[in-house]
Chains A and B, each alone.
Chain A
Amino acid sequence: MRRILAILAGLLVIVALWEGYKAVGNPDGTVLFGVRVLPRADDLSMPHVWTVLQRLGRPELTGGRPVWIVVLQACLFTLGITAAGFLAGAAVGLLLAVAMQRFRLVERGLLPYVILSQTVPLVALAPLVAGWGGTIMPPWATVAVIASYLAFFPVAVGMLRGLQSPAASGVELMRSYAAGWWRTLVKLRLPASLPYLFPALRLAGAAAVVGAVVGEISTGTRGGIGRLIIEYSREATSDPAKVYTAMLGAALLGLVVAGAVSLFELPLMRHRRHVEVVTL
């Protein structure tokens, strides 16, 4: 209950900041030495919160469905892509981490490239991946590939750190039990890696959302929230509130994914405590 209240209070603060700035800010923005330091506060740049909410209720086009349904549907579509990208990315990240932990050589050879992979700009990668759509996979799957490309990284790096985290005494104990690599992994390294895994998964969740939205924008994949943002932003000239409805949708999507990822922790957290007792 207190948590919900805190979330609501946070929301109110954001609304108050937005409207407060609109009330006191210069409608033409504040320009210092030719550089705009504060944004414009006029209705075209920053529509009132209630205008945006009203826009959600009105039809997207004359006689069409209300905007909130369109935005929600787009969110669901992108949620699907994000989930697919997240799961694929997390799986790849886990496998890479295990491989890197198992073979020192793989870690030395692969880790620099794993890090390098994230410096490839998405705009260069997206058209390449987009070309697979329609031939070897449906167009939405190409966006999921882009999402997984961003999502695998934190998992691979975080998980590797986690797998390497058990103290030498723990590893030696396992060895004294004549436990093989697999048994050590399952009984010692995996449980010990969980505290490293969860933050990594949260990062991966956020990265998957960004990947999915940017991937949609980049490839023009129809149906998702990224596409909706770009479509609505074209109408910003005459209907500025509409863009913000799509952005609200994207924010909601991010929250839902973050929430879903933290749900993963619930069953595993119990496990972790249990493990701690054993290793102690």
Chain B
Amino acid sequence: MKIFRTFTVFTALLLAACGTADQAKTTPAASGSLTPIKLQLQWFFQSQFAGYIAAVDQGFYQEQGLDVQLLEGGVDIVPQTVLAQGKADYAVAWVPKALASREQGAGITDVGQIFARSGTYQVAWKSSGITTPAQFKGKKIGNWGFGNEFELFAGMTKAGLDPGKDVTLVQQQFDMQALLKHEIDAAQAMAYNEYAQLLEAKNPATGKLYTADDFSIIDWKQNGSAMLQDAVWANTDKLKDPAYQAQTVKFLVGTIKGWAYCRDNPEKCRDLVVAKGSKLGKSHQLWQMNEVNKLIWPSTAGIGVIDDAAWKQTVDISMTTKNQTGDTVLKKAPDADAYTNTYINQALTQAKAAGVDVNGASFQPEKVTLEAGGA
């Protein structure tokens, strides 16, 4: 914490020193010579990336002299690999997966932990009586695999279960049909996506949509097995270059403004995402926007600052939790280059100076009503 404070003071001084120079730089940039930047997202355009979409649309990146192009993800697109190969300037990726790529040689650094909290749930039928991970014993537990399963495995291990023996693991699809058909007893779901899909489905027994009362949620945040998710990753080697450092700060300033904008204008951001051609409906996107905001705000240290304790928990789980094949995410602890708060702190100072509320202390989530099929 002390180091962190010294950093802030230091960066504040630094910024004060070159404040005038910065302003001089941004003005001509805005008039035409923008630096082209590519940001690789994890998936198709959806509210999960609303902050970046809003920052492009509202000109927050342009103010910083950046022309940001958002690259959509795909089934076989691994953002951190795209970044490490130099095909993108920055990438959005989950921390454990990115760290695993890092261990295999991808030179990337977490420069902004946009989602401070994990959005992963395990959802069961309320009628099944399952409310804690310990009750998974002997049940069929759905999981996504491919490195998305470690919060679940850590949670079960913590509850005293051996995930390999005490439960039947079932590979889950993108959709939640397996849970609806009672093929599995608990399904992995993101609060902002798959859980909403459940509430958009019709209960054949009543002809009405399922409600939150039909399901019970095991939230890994409350079970001490949550891991850090969406973060902005930069290229480690390029971070040695002062020009890329400055560009990273500018990119983060725009990103902070974008997410703050979406906190204050969720409906507007929903519309921006829908206008980007998302095939998911409007109410689904608003739900997602609201849930994503909950993962960011309120942010005591400021949006994007990597919390040491949460990082440590993520790394610990990555190193100790074994999945069904006995693999861990990481074999050894990541080195010091794995994350840095240097650039996000500079960006926060700049954003604050520009009058942006970077903490969102008064943030209140909305109540979103989902329509059938998310329409």
Contacts and interface: CB of A to CB of B under 8 A. Distances in A.
| A and B associate in one complex | yes
Interface of A: 28, 40, 42-45, 60-62, 123, 126-127, 130-131, 134-135, 217-222, 228, 230-240, 242
Main SS class of interface, B: loop
B373 A235 contact: yes
B200 A237 contact: yes
B282 A237 contact: no
B207 to A, nearest CB: 13
Interface string B218-252: 00000000000000000000000000000000000
Contacts of A242: 373
A220 B72 contact: yes
A44 B177 contact: yes
Contacts of B281: 61-62
Contact of B78 (A61, A127, A235): A127
A33 B318 CA distance: 37
B44 interface: yes
B42 to A, nearest CB: 10
A232 B44 CA distance: 12
Lowest 9 CB-CB distances: which A-B pairs, in order? A220-B74, A238-B201, A238-B200, A237-B197, A231-B279, A236-B175, A218-B76, A237-B176, A62-B375
A62 B177 contact: no
Interface in B86-129: 87
A8 B73 CA distance: 40
B23 interface: no
A233 B174 CA distance: 8
Contact of A131 (B85, B180, B197, B277): B85
B198 A237 contact: yes
Nearest to B201: A238
Interface string B268-280: 0000000001011
Interface residues of B, number: 38
A45 B282 CA distance: 25
Contacts of B375: 61-62
A233 B204 contact: no
Contacts of B198: 237
B374 interface: yes
29 contacts: A42-B181, A45-B181, A61-B282, A61-B375, A62-B375, A127-B77, A130-B76, A130-B77, A131-B82, A131-B87, A217-B75, A218-B74, A219-B77, A220-B72, A220-B75, A221-B74, A231-B279, A231-B280, A233-B173, A233-B174, A234-B175, A235-B280, A235-B373, A237-B201, A238-B197, A238-B200, A238-B373, A240-B177, A242-B373
A61 B75 CA distance: 23
A234 B200 CA distance: 12
